[in-house]
Structure formats: C-alpha cells, structure tokens
Structure 1
C-alpha cells in the first residue's frame, strides 16, 4: 500500500495516461453506424419478390380452374376474390331451332286490280285450294284415271271477282281463275259459295292447241261473262263480268268490248284478263281484239270462225 501510494505520488500523470489509453481503446471498439438507406432498399426488393411469388402462384391456380371462376384482387397482391361469370359466355350453347318450312301459296296476279269486289289474295288462295280439293274428292276418288290438278302452289291467280247467282245456281259467291305452266299447262275456273267449291271447270294442255293465232280466247270464259240461259233477257244487273284467254309474247295489247264498253285487258304471263260491269241486257258475246307491239291488229274475234259470237 505504501509502495503504490509512493508510486502514484512519484508519477502523478500515470492515472491520466491510463485513462487516455482506455478511452482510445473504447473508441476503437465502437461499431460503425447502421446503413439505413441500404437496409430500406433491401426491404423493398424483398417485398417485391414475395409479391411476384404470390401472384405467380395465383396465376398457376387460375390455369387449372374454369374460366371466370376467380379473379386476382388488387391492392393487397395476395388477395383472391370470387368473380361473376360473364353472362355472354356459354359453356355449351344450344343450337338455334330450325324453322319449320311454311308451304307456299299460289303466285299473286300481276296487278292488284285483278282481285276485285273486296276479295283479297288470301281469300282467293283459300278458294283455289278448296277447288283443287273438290276436284280430288269428286273426280279422282271416283275415277282413278282422272288427272290430278296438283296443289295451289303450282298456280298463279289471275282473277278473283264476285259471282252473281242465277236461276241455275242461286246464291252469290266469288269466282277464282288460276293458271299454271308446268308440268302440264292448266287453267281453272271455279266458283266458291258458302265456303264450298262449286262448278269447277278445268282445261289442260296448250291453250293455243294447233292454232297459230296470236290470241286465244278461253272457250269456257262464258262462265265469267254470262248468267244462265234460263234467265236470258232477265239477268240481274248490274253484273260483274270477266274474260280470260291466252296471248303470245308478240302481243302488246288486248281489248275486250262487252255491252256498251271496251276495256283493255291486263297481260299476265301469257294470259290476258279483262273485267267490267254490265248494266244492260245483251245478246252478243264479248268482242276480243289483239294488237302487236307496234299497234297493228293481229287478232279479231269477229274474224275467228271458232269463236262463238252470240250468247246462247
């Protein structure tokens, strides 16, 4: 003790030197400052790496799930929420049903003026169908060799008009005239009364026959322009009349004179159709004239020996 005290007293600067040495060693052992910018950068990179890993896993899951089953949520990165399927997407769409074919009716006339007295196309077509059914039931059923008239769709309606009843066929109705070109040329004149077909008249084959005339008046057109011979001189007036016949392609105009009037006929696919109203008693049949496209007279029923010029 006495020695230490003596040494200390002998070297009063010794304690100061020891403290100085210890302080220097402590300074040398102090850790370096923490690099905060580098730590923050590494943390950001690590979060990005984790986010990409979660997103990839979600995409891999979507690859094996049905389309539209899930969608990745935004913001949180790892959130996955159910999504509604797109209503426009169908896993198995039903094919559209095939429409049932609708049977076509007869062809319409060339002009609306060939449907007269308030008789529309549908009524005329229905009347034609009834007439063909009447022919099948009353002729073919009784005589298998009688030729079938086909269907209404095979024909063209060329005239429909009021039918005035007479002593031989009482009751008013309407008449329908239809023609066809194939498979065999045909012409039908039929009267419908009370929804039933009556008095069907048909003509099959070439309407010109062996004749070379340019115009061929229908030999049964009298069914349209005269009343019963039982009422001769006492027809019901006014009386709607009609006239039909065939004409060749070289014909450009046909006129029909009846009573005190002359009417120009409508040309409809190789046929001519004329109508009018009779307001007086007559004894002579209509007079038919045909002209070519230059206006030259090429047919006159007054010069046709096969044409009946007076009424029975």
Structure 2
C-alpha cells in the first residue's frame, strides 16, 4: 500500500515538472517584441532623405533655367543673377514682330518694249529722272500763272523712251533724255533732260497731239530736241550721236518707219505713240528724219515728204 501511495504522489510532481519545462521552452521560442520606435525613426529618416533629394533636383533645374533663357533671349551685356531665377514660362523664344512695311511710291508705267530703254538707262533711272523733272517744274512755276498746267506726279505717266543725251555748245555735258506721256486729266508729253543727277531742262506739250489734223501720223513738233544738236554746232556735231524720234499715230496705222542718216528703222508703237531710235556714227546729217505710216493692208497712208507742215531739213 505504501508503495502505491508513494507512486501516486510522485506522478503529480513529474507532471508539474513537465509543464514547467514546456512552459520554459515556449517562452524561449516566443519572438521578441516589435521595436516600433526604431521603425518609425528609420521611416522618418528615409522620408527626409527622399524629400531632400527631390528638392535638390528642383534647385538644380531652377539654377539651369535662367542660363537657357539668357542664351535664347539674347539679352544685353549684364548676366542673369542666380539669386532671382526667371520663371520657366519665359524661356521660350518669341518671334520678333516685323516692322510695318513702308508702302512704295507708285511709279510711271513701263514702256511697251525693253528696246525703248537704251544706253544702260534702266527703268528705275528713267522713273527717278521723270520725278526730278516734275519737281523741277513745280519749283520753277510762276505763282499765279493762269496759263500753267499742273504736271501731276510721275505715277500719272508712261515712259516711252529713255536714252543717252549728248551735250552740245548750247547745253554742255552728257546726261539722259526721258520722254513720258499721260492721258488724264489733260493729255501731256514731257521731254526731260537729266545731267549729274539733276533736272537740267524740260519741254512740255499739252493736249491732243493731233489737234484738228486729219493725218494718220503726226510727228511731235519738238522731237528735234531728240534728233539734232545745237545750231551753234552745225557741221561739227559730237559723234557718235544717239538720236530719237517720237510722234502720234491713229488706230488705222499698223506700222511706222523712220529713215535718218542713211538708215531706216521700224518704230515701236506704244499706246498711240511711235518711237524710233538710232545712232549717227560718222557724219552729221542735214535732212530731218523721214516718216512713213502704213495701214493694216500695207498701204502707205502718211509720208512726211508730202506733209507741208513738216520741216524736212535741219536748221
């Protein structure tokens, strides 16, 4: 009995020790507590590190932008201060507005053919000369002269001839001659001489060149200024000599020829005016140009030799 009793009393001690051992092992296997303060501290440090990195990139960008803006804008001699960076919206180059164009002054109409501008005289030269001659007329106009007709502006005219002008004893010095005509408000014809860039002489004819004449071709009464030199130089013209002839023709005329100095040339027909030119090379002539006009069938309808009002010889 006593042995069984002792065995029975021993079992509880054994169980208690086993429980104690198991409890100790479980305590040893339990994970340590989570270090929340340490994790929070590290998270805050990482967040600050990232924020500082982003801020550094932004500062680097702002430091570069003003230099780019200065290079594109092409500013003045002063450098851009890094302490005050320009906003990025101002770095784009903007097109410089173009200055308003100055309207060009209208000029005279051009001749019908390039062959009416001779001896290197360009349209621009002729137009400028015409403008100077009109200004010359205005400057020398007698105030209150009832017989004077306003010549208008160069834009009112059409240039029909421009060529070299040979000086003579009466008007020394070479220059250029410009012939221009207008239709409105009053028909007009100008023969202008320009020397040294200045207007030196102006001859005007106003009104219908035909007047009451029924003829098909009418030579300009002052065309001699273009095809002869001064009477003072008779027999001693300066050669070679560029000459020209002008006049009017009616719509029934299809061709005009001019014979002068032993040669004959076909005139240019330009809006009711005929123009012929040539060059005397070796000798002075004594006879005026001979003009002939032909209709559309080829019939001779005008011959200056048959025109009693035409001066056939030179003075």
| Distance in structure 2 (CA, Å) of the matches to 1:213 and 1:122 | 35
| Distance in structure 2 (CA, Å) of the matches to 1:207 and 1:145 | 18
**How far has the Cα of 1:99 moved from its partner?**
4.4
User: What TM-score do the two structures reach when normalised by structure 2?
Assistant: 0.68
Aligned to 2:306: 303
**How far has the Cα of 1:141 moved from its partner?**
4.2
Does the aligned pair in 2 maintain the 1:140–1:148 contact within 8 Å?
no
Deviations 1:127-181 (A, max 9, x none): 0001001111112447365111000000000001111111111111110000011
Aligned to 1:53: none
User: What TM-score do the two structures reach when normalised by structure 1?
Assistant: 0.69
Aligned to 1:63: none
Q: Given the superposition, is the C-alpha separation of residues 213 and 101 from structure 1 closer, same or farther in structure 2, using an over 3 Å criterion?
A: same
Does the aligned pair in 2 maintain the 1:128–1:176 contact within 8 Å?
yes
CA RMSD of aligned residues (A): 3.9
Aligned to 2:235: 233
Aligned to 1:173: 175
Aligned to 2:272: 270
| Distance in structure 2 (CA, Å) of the matches to 1:119 and 1:231 | 26
Does the aligned pair in 2 maintain the 1:140–1:147 contact within 8 Å?
no
| Distance in structure 2 (CA, Å) of the matches to 1:208 and 1:217 | 9
| Distance in structure 2 (CA, Å) of the matches to 1:180 and 1:170 | 29
**How far has the Cα of 1:100 moved from its partner?**
3.9
Q: Which runs of 5+ in 2 are unaligned?
A: 1-87
- SS, match of residue 308 in structure 2: coil
1:125 to 115, 124, 127: 127
Aligned to 2:204: 202
Aligned to 1:294: 297
**How far has the Cα of 1:207 moved from its partner?**
0.5
Q: Which runs of 4+ in 1 moved over 3 A?
A: 94-100, 140-145
Aligned to 1:149: 151
Deviations 1:52-109 (A, max 9, x none): xxxxxxxxxxxxxxxxxxxxxxxxxxxxxxxxx9x99x9xxx9998644322100111
